[in-house]
Structure 1
C-alpha cells in the first residue's frame, strides 16, 4: 500500500505577544537592523500583511517588544512576596533587574533603555516605579528625581556595555576568558554593581537626607 502523506505541521496562530517574542528572538540573533515587517513575517512563515492585523507598523511592533521587555523585568529581587524594606533596597532591586535584562537580552534591551518616557508601554511602568518608591518611604518629588537619575545611570552604562561586545558567558554575562584589566574594566558589570552603591549613597546624601521632600 502506498504510504499516507503526513499532514504538514500547523503553524502557530499569530498574536501581538507572539510577534513581540519572535521580534526579540530575531533581534538577539541578527541585530536590530534585521527587524522589519517583511523579515519577521518570513521568519514566522506568514505573508507580511498578516502581521498588520496585530501591529500597525514597525514602530507599533517595537512598542509591543518594549512592553514585553518591561514584563520580563523582575523588580522583586527574586522575592515576589517580600516588599522592599526601604527605598534603598528598591533602588538596588530595580538597577539589578535592568542589569539582568541587559545580560539576558543585550541587543533588545536598547529598545527599552532608549524608549521615550511618554511611549505607551513606558509611561505606566515609570509611574508604577515612582509609586513603589513613594511606598518605600520617599516623598513624591524625591521619588521622581531618583527614578530619573537611576534610569539614566542604568540605561547609559548598560547600553554602552552591550554595544561594547561584552555580553555572553560569565556570572553576570561577562565574556568567558580573562577578566578585563585597566581601563577596560571600567565597562565590566562589577563596576556597574559598584556604581549602584555609590549612587544610593549619593542619593541618600543629596536628595533624601539633604533634601526637603524625602521622608526616609
Structure 2
C-alpha cells in the first residue's frame, strides 16, 4: 500500500510536472506568438506611416488659427520690394471718375474732372486708358507723375508720398535735373505787349546721361524748347 501510494504519488507528481511543463510551454508559445504579433503590428504600423504620411486637411482642423497658418504656409507670397509702398496708396482698382478728382488741370487749377479745356480732356483720356488696362490706383499715380509731373496732384500728401516712393526705388546712379533758377515770375503778360521770353539753364547733376524725350507746359499759350549749348 505504501509502495502503491508512492507510485501513485510519484505518478501524480509526474503528471503535475508534465502539466506544469505543458502550461509553461503554452504560455511561452503564447508569449512568442503575441510578441511576434506585436512586432509585426509595429512593423506594419511603421510601414503604413512611412508609405502614407498624414496630410493636413484644413477642413478637418478644429482650430481656425491652424487653418489660417496652413493657408499662409501653402500660399505663395509676393516678392518683397526694398521700396515701401506709401501707406495711403493701396494698390486697389479705381474707377476713372475717382481718379479724375486726384489731379488738377495746369491751366486753371481745377480738377481735371471739372475743367472743360483741352488739356483737362487729354489728361482724362490718359487716366481712362490706364483704368481700361486694369491698372491699379498706385500704378495710375506713378504713370501720371511720369507723364505730367508731381505738381499735377491735387493732394500735397499724395504728392509727397509719390516723391518719397520714387526716391526710394531709384538707383544711386541716375540722371538728375538741376534748374537755375528754379522758377521765373513773368508777372501779368498782356497780348498787346507781344511775346514774353525767359530762359532757364538745365544741368544734369546726376551720374548718368540725361535723356529728354519731350516737353510740356502748364498753359496752352506757352511754348518751351531746349537749346543745346
Where is the helix percentage greater, Structure 1 or Structure 2? 1
TM-score, normalisation: structure 1: 0.22
* Structure number with larger C-alpha Rg: 2
Asked which structure has the greater RCO (Cα within 8 Å, sep 6+), the reply is 1
- After TM superposition, the score normalised by the length of structure 2 is 0.21
